[in-house]
Chains A and B, each alone.
Chain A
């Protein structure tokens, strides 16, 4: 049963989502008289889009709650992609809802568009709030669009995202107070309120209360810092009851280092050693301001941790042979898996791609693990570029790992490298369901 759940969890999630949408459609159907004019049809289309948008917001809230179950089984990067997809859809539905209701109301009331707009904004409880909320949704949607996203800093993007909570709160009240499905029907109304309340409760519980509780529970702090390579440090964390965290190799945690300048930012870092009861280790490469600062973090610094998250774990494995493909600092979770992943002797291979020899971290540790476990490590070193990428060419892969088609593959690294690697693996005959990867850049 458990295995079944794990394998099909994305499907189970989708079925749940679809069932909710069907129930909502049924609610609309039973509470609506047949529309007899074009205006009434527009209005009904507006109500439907509004209902769906409101429903998907609940789903988004649940996705944002970082439920351990979903994070571990569906995987954080996949959840993030679903989140951005659903988010875009909600923005479109919200805009459609506003326009359709506006037109529909104007037509059935035989009023001009301008007059109807003022009526809508001033005559209805909380509709003005909802419009402001929708404006926030659109703003966040625009900023998250790929073209704009690359031009704003992560912090701006993140802070703007917090506005969606305000948007959701602003849009909520008009649903309850003017929604044609909720005003006359107490059961539907309370059901709707309940869904929003439950989603918010999950969010507050997992993103606020649990991390705060964990401060006392685990009392994480920096125990030691070790330089691994230029601009790469390993940070060792100690604390109480570390096995209660339930961390698995391949997972990551969102860490907040409580120093004067860094306390307000939380960033994801993979565990770079298999979890054990006495310490946790993350290995951090300087890529920006924050990671630059962390290179000089002092032992004794308190750390607030969220997680562990991520589905790139041993549970994903379905074959006895495994190939791990790492790029740059993406080696961190694979280093932990390399150490602990159960695999048949001689059928565990790590391919580690780096652009310079100095950038290869954990070389010593990796060689040691390989010797201990009778596993194999291949280092592919050289600057990235058209001449070099063939290192991950299908022919190369087959030469390094002759039985690659029969193995599971775990990947972590920069986007471009991952795409190449996935294509090569597919070409070598590894089905998509046996390719497991974590994306470091959301």
Chain B
């Protein structure tokens, strides 16, 4: 680390004023979830208390992240430095509008999943550690969203990953073991690539602080080594986000775990990859991103189209939804390829929408399977008669995921297509629209098969078959209210409708997140003080 000046300004290096109380909001998400996870782990055998405690901590997380987002929108980017090691030396937590928004949505989804799990995860699942793993996974996700240090982000990724292994294998089925092996090995390769890129970046620039990297990359301009590092980041995070052609681990593992685990994975994990892509390519290495725009655009288009075609070719409802997750990733990457403020805002909005809608769709699928006794499209049918409410909820979610108005999927698609046409990416805009059409086809067929027709395959259409198990309580093991399943589903659907009808607020937030990435003046100033 030669090169820094040898005169030290002691006064500047020592804070004597206490940290403002609001700044604790920045690291509270990680602390809260680690404490909650540990307590739940200690209470491993007390499965009833575990669920209540887990929900309390997840609820606190939602409140905290809500306050954090409010604070960020009011004051701009907030930085907290660990142990007063001033940047670029210490580990900094730096929160901008993008990180805070995603952390809030992640917390909401995790709370909903925790509630849903309170009756769908039986006591043996809890004994194997569902709630500790869920809380610790949120530690990793929040840490990754809020940290301002690239190596630190790697560590949070690993925290997230190891907890996700635990959740994925919960239950020990044959299919789960099989799926976890594939998920585990491929994700480990992905994080190793991330670590390689980070090591090389450190060798190249001598710093790990994101704000410092941004400045140094701007000064040095785009060069061969930096392009290599950018490509490595692209590959590593494309693997995490399940972009074509490194996406085949997702459909082979996401349909195996408990449905609530699949729901939170589908909502959250791939979006952490998208966030990391935004952070590294759009903010840290904008010049390299511009060079790679064509590649990212092709990856995006192929991800969208192969994802949705895969969805059409599935008969298992969960695998179909897994392919729709992939297809959504393609739309988000399209925004990254275009790279204007409007396009990146579209990506951010799409990420928020996708977290909510995919989680809700998996939850709805869990309810449908509990009623019909199967996830197979051939055996689903006649559910409209069994539950018109579920039919309506599923239709709302289906229209939202296909990007049809007036639900939340419509606006980000409009933003992305608009941005694509503005900058002459006509074929990319066409790919987005064709994907929307094919998605309506795939998900519309699910609705027609599961809800509209009279009964499963083999029954006369128009007649009503008696449903095999007939009750949500089959999921719960009986005896409890089904409200814990319906409330999270209803809450997520309500958010989907709300963001569709009143998109201005979320649009403004995503726009602030996007412009903060493209022109990170506020970020740099927050880390280095006004002088930077």
Q: A and B bound?
A: no
B binding-site residues for A, Cβ under 8 Å? none
